[in-house]
Every structure is written in C-alpha cells, then in structure tokens.
Amino acid sequence: MNAGSQGRLKDRTPVSVIDIGSNSIRLVVYEGIARAPTVLFNEKMLAGLGRGIVSTGRLDPQAVERALEEFARFRALSQQAGSDAMHVIATAAAREAENGPEFIERAGQVLGTEIQVLSGRQEAHYSALGIISAFREPDGIIGDLGGGSLELVDLRGKAIGDGITLPLGGLRLADMTGGKPDKVRAIIREQIARADLLNGGRGRAFYAVGGTWRNLARLHMVESGYPLNVMHHYEMEPERCGEFLDLVADGNINKMNGIKRVSKNRRALLPYGAAILREIIAAMKPERIVISAVGVREGYLYSLLEGGWQEADPLLTAADELAVLRSRSAQHARELAEWTGPAFAAMGLDETADEGRYRRAACLVADIGWRAHPEYRGTQSLNIIAHASFIGIDHPGRAFIALASLYRHEGLIDDAVAPEIRQIITPRLMERAKALGALLRVVYLLSASMPGVIPRLTWRIAPSGALQLVIPKDREDLMGERPKGRMAHLSAFLSRDMELVVGE
C-alpha cells in the first residue's frame, strides 16, 4: 500500500519487527523483507523493563504498564504503515524475570500476535546473522550489549562459532553497583574472564552491537573530529581509544563534546559500556573495533529471506534499488556497471574484489542526482551517497562511490572540494574514483543516459599504440567535440594516449 508513490519499490510489502529489550523497546517497519532492508518507520521507547531486576527478580512494574500502553500504539502504527506481518521478539529481561511470562502474555494480547522470547543462544545467533547480513566476510568476535546481558559469539565468514551470554547489561550493572560506575570494573573483569572465546580474537575485529556502544561511538566521533557522521562500519583503534574509554568509564561525560547528541536516558549507561569495552580490549586484544548499526532485529529479518537472497550482495542490491528509484534509466546504470569492468582492464587499472564491487555500485548510483540543478548535481549526489544507509561497505569504499559521482558530474575538479570525504579515502581508491568519474563523463555524452549504446562500445589498440574507444559505425553521429574533449581529459589523467574513434 504505497498510495501510488514512486519513491518506493513496487514489489515490497511492509513488515514490522518489535524488539522488547531490557532497556528499550523498538518498533521498526521495514519496506519489505529484502537483502538490503530499508526502514519505512522507526520508533522506540526507553521503557527500562529490566531496571531493578537484580534486587527484585521482577520487571519494573511502572515500565510494564508504560510498555503495554505503547504496544497498542505500536500495533496501530504497524497497521497504518500497511504491514502485513508483525514479528515480536523479547530478550534478557523478559526471559529472566519472575513476572516475565505474565508480561509476555499480556503484551501478546495487546499486540495480537505471538511473542518469541529468545534464549541467550538464540539472541547471540540472530546478532551474528545481523553481522553476516551487513559486513562482507566478517571475521572476529561479536559483542551485543543490551540492558540486561552481553552476548559474545565468534564469527568467521558465515560460520557461527562458540558463544556465551554474560550478565553484563548496563541496567543490570547499574542495579548491582547502586549507580556508581567506579565499582563496576571488578565485576566486569570477573565475568569477562569466563569468556574463553575472547582468547581466539587476538588480531581480529571486535564487532560492537547495541545502542549503548553506538552512542559511545557517536561521542568518540565528535571527540576525535571524525569527518563522516555515519555509524555503520565506524572503526575505533584499540590502542588509541583507551584514554577516551577510561574517561567515559569514570563517568566524566557531562562536559564532553557531543554529549548532547546522546539522550539523557542513554548517558547513564555509557560508563558501563565503556568499562565493558575496555575489559574486552584487554582480554581479546583485537585489531580494531567495528561499530555495527544492525543487530538482532536485522539478523532475524535476514533469517526470513528465501530463494537464495541471503547470498546476494547487500551493497549492490541497495545501489540497484536506488537506481530504480532515482535514475533516468536503471538499465543504463546496469550496463555501465558491467561495461566499466572490461574498460578498467583495458585502461590498465587492476581491481581487488571489493574495488570491483565499489566500482559497480558507483555506476549504479551515478545518475541519482539528475533532477537537481546541474550546478548542484555533483555535491548533492555526493551527500546522498556518503550518508546512504548502505551495508556491506566500509567508510573508504563509501567515500570512493561518493567521489566518483562528484567527478562524474563536475570533472576532475580542485581537490579542495569535499575535504571531509577525502580524509577517509585511500590514495589508491582516490585515483580510481577519478578515473571512473572521468570515464563516465565520456560515455554519458554518447548514451544520453539511456540504454542500448554502452554495451556496443569497444576497446582496441591502434597501430600507434593508442588505446581507442570505438563507437559502432551505425552510431557515428554520436561523435562530437565534447566527447572528444572529455576523452582528452581522461587520457591526460591516465598519462596514456587515448582516442575516441568510429569503427569501420
């Protein structure tokens, strides 16, 4: 039910997931069950169901009533959004509390559907599936920190290894220490020592999942002056973030830059999240800390995929969908994605597997800014791409795609443009972004952004040694001064003789 809107994909039916956690409860309505899920509507409440559970053994009674009232709204919102299915999952607090079963029964009556109370093992499994769905060939230890527990699980590619659930949620620790973070280190250290699987994480990645760690990373972004405000795949270097984590763990956060970006309810849990991460680093000695914007909900949604869709590339899937929604011709974008591979080879530009993926994605989204005024198409496209909800890509790759689009629209402009994005791209990716942008500037003038011509453009070496891009004879009228001029720019950039010619 998209009311005729062209801004949504026509083959999707919305689906809702409600996640009942120890601290927060969230409703997410997705556009559909897809390899690269898009959020249609998102709302949360910080209910604090697990507050006091250590001392009472029960869910907080006021939080229970607030949650039940909100569930009626969540059900109505799900229906309003056109969702044809509602999946409800509950985690640590609901499974541990004495009054958990009663709460779940009442919540199921309000929501009108069955609620799955996940075991610690199931929670860790879905968290691992979330990482599998959102990272390319992940290798490391996943840590999913909630209000009531910490799930740790080893992951190599799609192979989910050992896991353990520890009673180290932020709300639980606050109860155990009377809200005094300075008392928590010994408790955390004792529990982390139980996680033998961390010994196998040395030199690998630690994937941090959960709202507390995302907000901790947001604070670190501001403190370190990081130029790209994108949470997914943000990386922290363990050896360089120790002082920051100690500062937060000691509770000295009220005057930190960026603290106002964190809700007051979340701020109280940051010291516990920092202290836990500090002890994990000491025990595991990871190569890097990688922040994930996805977790149990997305892992659960990934588990519902059928027909081989779990094997699809989430980056290329999302880029293709963006082409369908915003470009003049999705087929033209797909032709570019295929054609530029052999073109790079002809120009002598080798690619890694990931560089090839990034190039293809850049071609798929190269025309999404066409409705903007010509003077702003480049910068508008760069901003959309740099901040898009892509998964399966790191930040340098994201910068490559954004800059390739900028160069495609504006040419190989002065490097003073988009300095923030340039800070996170590697020199090798920068050169390839410029090469791709310059190449696209040539072929867009031959195709008029419409399909049919690109696959017929071929490459050959002339007797002079020049690399020639050949226009088929029956389309020779496409030859002109502007495409010749742009070919000259590409030739100059690559420091190679290149020509645009018509075939025999």
390-440: per-residue pLDDT in tens?
Answer: 999 999 999 999 999 999 999 987 666 678 888 999 999 999 999 999 999
Distance CA(200)–CA(188), nearest Å, equals: 19
Question: Identical fold at 15-117 and 121-298?
Answer: yes
pLDDT of 40 reads 95
pLDDT exceeding 70 applies to what percent of the chain? 98
CATH of domain 15-117: 3.30.420.40
pLDDT of 415 reads 66
Distance CA(126)–CA(110), nearest Å, equals: 25
The angle that helices 314-326 and 353-364 make with each other, rounded to 10 degrees, is: 10
Distance CA(412)–CA(432), nearest Å, equals: 12
pLDDT of 259 reads 84
Q: Which of 225, 212, 221, 224 is nearest to 171 (CA)?
A: 212
- 170: confidence class by pLDDT, cuts 50, 70, 90: confident
- 140-155 exposure pattern, b = at least 16 Cβ within 10 A, e = fewer: bbbbbbbbbbbbbbbb
Tell me which architecture the domain covering 314-452 has in CATH. Orthogonal Bundle (1.10)
The predicted model gives 152-171 an average pLDDT of 93
Chain mean pLDDT for the chain = 93
CATH of domain 121-298: 3.30.420.150
Q: State pLDDT tens for residues 275-313.
A: 999 999 999 999 999 999 999 999 999 999 998 999 999
Question: Is the pLDDT assigned to residue 200 strictly greater than 90?
Answer: yes
Model pTM score: 0.93
Question: Is the pLDDT assigned to residue 315 strictly greater than 90?
Answer: yes
Distance CA(22)–CA(19), nearest Å, equals: 10
Give, as one character, the DSSP assignment of residue 276.
Answer: H
**SS3 for 45?**
strand
The predicted model gives 231-256 an average pLDDT of 91
- Asked whether the beta carbons of 502 and 470 are under 8 A apart, the reply is yes
pLDDT of 181 reads 67
- Asked whether the beta carbons of 154 and 141 are under 8 A apart, the reply is yes
Domain ranges of the chain: 15-117, 121-298, 314-452
Half-sphere exposure of 428 (CA within 13 A, CB side): 10
pLDDT of 293 reads 95
